[in-house]
Amino acid sequence: EHLPFSGKVALITGAAGNIGLATAEHLAAMGADLALLDLDHEKLEQARTGLGGHDVRINIYTCDVMDGGQVSQTVDTVVRELGQIDFLFNNAGYQGAFAPVQDYPDDDFARVMNINVCGAFHVLRYVAQHMITRKFGRIVNTASMAGVQGPPNMAGYAASKFAIVGLTEVAAKDLAPHNIRVNAISPAFMGPGFMWDRQVELQARAGSQYYSTDPKEVAQQMISSVPMRRYGNIDEIPGVVAFLLGEDSSYMTGVNLPISGG
């Protein structure tokens, strides 16, 4: 049976998380072989088991994207085991603390930048080196609407996601001569789930003029700011990633697509 992504190998980082796993499922259903990378080994094992119904190769790789040496080794291992990397979904990330900038903890700021920016850079760089040898590659970075308009109390996260948008634009230019396209997606409020609950709770606790101190009211305030008047479902993300990885977006590079309800 020939599926649209048969014969393609996709590397997904943050693959044990909500968006990574939903995208893994979608790409497997489209026929892609998968290299699932995450820091959390146990959740990776569960992810592989959960995806077992798809007739594709699925390998898991426990790796800390903050460590460039580990990333380099892991990319080599993926290429050795699966033969190639056609698609990269560069998606591992961490939301960070919620506090006004003057109180934002130094160590958390550094951690957010290390995971979200240095981590994404390491993966992009080493995978790009491999893709250049094949003169083919499609890369999607996970940014955020927090990387387009900075929300209050999220200094680390917003700075890191603005950086991802910049990295996407630079990489698109540097890699265009090698037939590698690089784009980004920017989800906004996604739910239900851990990320949604956490940000509602922590925005309430941050106690700013922008949000109520009651989490239920914060949820209402966030939803009222969205033209479509609802949060997005995680399942509304993978199809956009597949579009950017596939040939329907063949003349698109360096763009950041909002997934934000308007």
Residues recognised as catalytic: 157
33 contributes a contact to ligand NAD by CB under 6 A? no
- H runs (alpha helix) in 60-193: 68-82, 106-112, 120-134, 155-175
115 contributes a contact to ligand NAD by CB under 6 A? yes
Measured from the CB atom, is 79 or 113 closer to ligand NAD? 113
Q: Side-chain half-sphere of 178: how many Cα atoms within 13 Å?
A: 21
Measured from the CB atom, is 114 or 208 closer to ligand NAD? 114
Q: Given the rule CB under 6 A, which of 3-11, 16-24, 169-177, 203-211 is the region that contacts ligand NAD?
A: 16-24
58 contributes a contact to ligand NAD by CB under 6 A? no
Contact 43, 16 (CB under 8 A): yes
96 contributes a contact to ligand NAD by CB under 6 A? no
Residue from 10, 12, 17, 27 binding ligand NAD (CB under 6 A): 17
Q: Which tokens is 105 given?
A: 């903890």
Measured from the CB atom, is 67 or 169 closer to ligand NAD? 67
CA distances from 29 to 8, 25, 52, 192, 233 (A): 12, 6, 11, 23, 19
Q: Which tokens is 176 given?
A: 């265009």
Q: Which tokens is 84 given?
A: 């190639």
Nearest to 35 by CA among 77, 73, 72, 3: 77
238 contributes a contact to ligand NAD by CB under 6 A? no
Number of residues that bind ligand NAD (CB under 6 A): 24
Where do contacts with ligand NAD occur on this chain (CB under 6 A)?
14, 16-20, 38-40, 43, 64-66, 91-94, 115, 119, 142, 144, 187, 190, 195
